[in-house]
């Protein structure tokens, strides 16, 4: 009986202690959270930069990126040129019900067509509606933050070269290279 009462007393003490502290609960639908810079939310597409190279779809471990394209012939501008072929993006879709948000597609894109957007409110009541086409992916581009500025570490190249140069060391005597290995010095 005493263990029951001591346990009850500890529980009541914990309850009383937490009642006096401020709760950290955020009222999410009414108050939006302050997200850190460059937070990952959803993948946004800049359609103008996409060349339909399929690198993102091939590197995706979940195979959740679907790309359809066709080639169009571009007539030469100056006289004597030859006609070129140009890929035209017909469909670009990401199935967010399969995506694990690893960011490999964004890293391998050589033309900067995919970006992380901090937008995170895209839940659906039906899982089939999580397949977003290029129009929906393009709507998230205005929410993509600008890239961070890179810091310049050193502006004086000679000062960097002088600080990294090895100090002069005394020459070390080494045996002659052309000596016969069987001979003793």
Binding residues for [4Fe-4S] cluster: 50, 53, 56, 60, 99, 102, 105, 109
Q: For CA atoms 26, 28, 32, 34, give the dihedral sign.
A: positive
Tell me the binding residues: 50, 53, 56, 60, 99, 102, 105, 109
CA distance 127 to 113: 26
Nearest alpha-carbon partner for 48 in 128, 115, 112, 4: 112
Half-sphere exposure of 3 (CA within 13 A, CB side): 0
Instruction: Decide if 96 contacts 27 (C-beta within 8 A).
Output: no
């Amino acid at each position: 009986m005493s263990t029951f009462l001591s346990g009850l007393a500890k529980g009541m003490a914990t309850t009383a202690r937490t009642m006096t502290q401020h709760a950290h609960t955020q009222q999410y639908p009414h108050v939006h959270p302050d997200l850190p810079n460059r937070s990952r939310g959803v993948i946004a597409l800049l359609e103008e930069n996409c060349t339909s190279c399929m690198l993102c779809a091939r590197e995706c471990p979940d195979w959740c990126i679907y790309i359809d394209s066709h080639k169009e012939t571009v007539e030469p501008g100056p006289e004597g040129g030859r006609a070129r072929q140009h890929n035209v993006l017909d469909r670009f879709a990401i199935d967010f019900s399969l995506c694990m948000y690893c960011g490999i597609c964004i890293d391998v894109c050589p033309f900067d067509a995919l970006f992380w957007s901090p937008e995170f409110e895209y839940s659906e009541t039906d899982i089939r509606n999580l397949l977003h086409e290029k129009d929906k992916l393009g709507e998230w581009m205005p929410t993509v933050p600008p890239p961070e500025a890179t810091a310049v570490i050193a502006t004086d190249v000679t000062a960097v070269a002088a600080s990294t140069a090895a100090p002069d060391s005394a020459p070390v005597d080494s045996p002659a290279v052309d000596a016969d290995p069987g001979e003793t010095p």
